[in-house]
Amino acid sequence: MQEQPPFIRASIRNKIMVAFILVITVWGILNATLLEHALYPILSHQGVPTESIELIARHFTTISTGLTIIGILVFHLIALFFARAIAKPLRKLSDGVLRIDRGELNVRIDVTSRDELGQLADSINKMVAALQKSTQELAKANGELKEEVAERQRAEEELRKAKEAAEFASSAKGEFLANMSHEIRTPLNAIIGLADLLSETRLSAEQEEYVQMYQRSGENLLTLLNDILDLSKIEAGRLELESITFDLLDLVDKTIEFQAVRAQAKGLGLNRRLAPEVPRLLLGDANRLQQILANLLGNAIKFSENGAVFLEVAVTEQHSDSCLLSFAVRDTGIGIPEDKLLCIFDSFTQADPSTTRKYGGTGLGLAISKRLVEAMGGQIHVESKVGSGSTFYFSVRFTCLELPTGHAGRVPNEAELLPPRAVEFRLLAERPLRILLAEDSEDNALLIKSYLKHTPHTMELAENGLQALSKYIGGGFDLVLMDMQMPEMDGYTATSRIRAWEAETGTPPAPIVALTAYARQEDVAKSLAAGCTVHITKPLKKGVLLKAINNFAGGIA
Ligand code: ADP
């Protein structure tokens, strides 16, 4: 049902009625006035008899009544005409506007007159046509947008699934590498340790050579194991940088000292120079810096037959609390062909296929160094000339705790200055120690027993965590060497049960040295959290173990 626009009809009718009443009123007044004021006096003055005047008046009234009726008819016709000429198009306009308002954009107002109403209808039609066109375009765009959003949602969903699958694969890879590293480290522990022990016995020259080969192969395997573990951790985005306070000069000298034996054996010079403005006390990952330096210096020595290797440290950027240090490792070695300068930073890539045969190595060191440098806010590159030598440049950002004169460095907080330690242990007197070894592997137990052979300390064995706990509670042990992976009860549980018993009985805590084949940072944190005093990673070196025991025994290992 079409809604009528009553306001238009009412308004026209009202206007016509008002006009009609006005005309009738004016006509009556005119009649009365004419009769009273004009005709009577004029005609009586002219001597027209009263009967004639009354006759004239009657005719006049009849004529005027007739004229009035004609006037009414004329007005009625005029009103009808105007109602048709104005109201009809107005109604069409109003109907059209109401339908447009209801959203019927295909409606066109059918007013074709050339007057203002016709123009208005035309403008409204044009406006509605434009509106309809843009609404259609909008609907089309909306549809496309919806499709695009749906497509994007589908892509996001696929991406999320792929990410989850990649994360799962990466975590499975990480887990696999950690387990593999553990499984390989355990027998490697025995191989390297026994080779060390064997080298301390009387050997013929030939036997000594074989033992050295054992040792070298063991060390290489260990390096490879660590590199693979490092790379997988970096690639899985699980590399966590430490922030510890360290003395740069000390670190550089220790790294050089460590490499000096190999340089001397080849007759190479090995020197370093730190620019005077280089700050000494820094906050950052000292171990990773040492790893990068050891790799670059190791390569420089490995690939040089004569001449010297030189390490230079300078400051590139100096801010109030941070600095960008630049390191350069120069050698006079074989050099690297120009087309290999970039690719040697890729994993498992060497400049020459004969490198492994001639010099050993796996092509992982530079790939790891590059990623470590980048993680530490720096960059690495190499300049080299075949036959003349190479220079590896890298930069690393550190927090400066002590700056050269004129600069105020940041004061380290207490936590940064103290090395982390989980449990305070009792200081042991300078006397032989009773050591409890918790170890399920017979070979490793035998190895540790052999390590302690020429020391004043005594050792008792527990084959699992449960035995270790009851033996420790039995009393009399100064120190515990705790393997963390054992049957029945693992080292973590045994350690926390020992710590709980100590707390309950008021027994001063004994140092517990965690011995584990797991080398990851989270593994160290896990054993410290269980209550261990220090964490030593297998393969266990005699020197490292004796040094750790020596620390607790007051220097009589
Ligand atoms: P690796 O030394 O175990 O092979 P790296 O990743 O440390 O692995 O080095 C990759 C390769 O880059 C080396 O095999 C060698 O070809 C080249 N290289 C690295 N350092 C030097 C250097 N100082 N002089 C010549 N070649 C080098």
pLDDT in tens, 451-504: 888 888 889 999 999 999 999 999 889 899 999 888 888 999 999 999 999 999
* CA–CA separation, 345 and 349 (whole Å): 7
Cα dist from 427 to 157, 305, 436, 479, whole Å = 59, 49, 17, 11
Radius of gyration, CA atoms only, the chain: 52
Question: Which segments within 213-336 are labelled E, that is strand?
Answer: 244-247, 269-274, 281-284, 308-318, 322-330
- The widest CA-to-CA distance across the chain, in whole angstroms, is 181
Hey, whose CA ends up nearest to atom 20 of ligand 1?
299
CB of 308 within 8 A of CB of 264?
no
CB of 405 within 8 A of CB of 338?
no
Q: From 223, 342, 350, 390, give the residue whose CB has the most ligand 1 atoms within 8 Å, as the site to mutate.
A: 350
Hey, whose CA ends up nearest to atom 3 of ligand 1?
361
Secondary structure class of 105 (helix, strand, coil): coil
Our answer on whether the CB atom of 516 is closer than 6 Å to any ligand 1 atom is no
How far away, in angstroms, is 278 Cα from ligand 1 center?
28
Our answer on whether the CB atom of 362 is closer than 6 Å to any ligand 1 atom is yes
Our answer on whether the CB atom of 366 is closer than 6 Å to any ligand 1 atom is yes
Cα dist from 164 to 174, 179, 231, 251, 491, whole Å = 15, 22, 21, 41, 33
Our answer on whether the CB atom of 389 is closer than 6 Å to any ligand 1 atom is no
3-state helix/strand/coil string of 444-494:
HHHHHHHHCCCCCCEEEEECCHHHHHHHHHHCCCCEEEEECCCCCCCHHHH
* CA–CA separation, 323 and 319 (whole Å): 6
Secondary structure class of 167 (helix, strand, coil): helix
Our answer on whether the CB atom of 31 is closer than 6 Å to any ligand 1 atom is no
- Hey, how many other C-beta atoms are within 10 angstroms of the C-beta on 483? 27
Q: From 336, 359, 370, give the residue whose CB has the most ligand 1 atoms within 8 Å, as the site to mutate.
A: 336
CB of 218 within 8 A of CB of 191?
yes
- Hey, how many other C-beta atoms are within 10 angstroms of the C-beta on 178? 19
Instruction: Report CA 347 to chain centroid distance, whole Å.
Output: 24
Return per-residue pLDDT of the chain as tens, 557 residues.
444 444 455 556 667 667 767 776 777 677 667 766 776 777 777 777 778 877 777 777 787 778 778 877 887 788 778 777 777 888 888 888 898 888 888 888 888 878 888 888 889 999 989 998 999 999 999 999 999 999 999 999 999 999 999 888 877 877 787 777 777 877 888 888 888 888 888 889 888 888 888 888 888 888 888 888 788 778 777 788 888 888 999 999 989 988 888 899 899 999 999 998 898 889 999 989 999 999 999 999 999 999 999 999 999 988 877 899 999 999 999 999 999 898 899 877 777 777 666 777 778 899 999 999 999 999 999 999 999 999 999 999 998 886 544 444 444 444 443 333 333 444 444 578 899 999 988 888 888 888 888 888 889 999 999 999 999 999 889 899 999 888 888 999 999 999 999 999 988 888 899 988 776 667 788 888 899 988 888 778 888 888 888 777 654 33
Hey, whose CA ends up nearest to atom 4 of ligand 1?
363
* CA–CA separation, 491 and 45 (whole Å): 149
| pTM of the model as a whole | 0.56
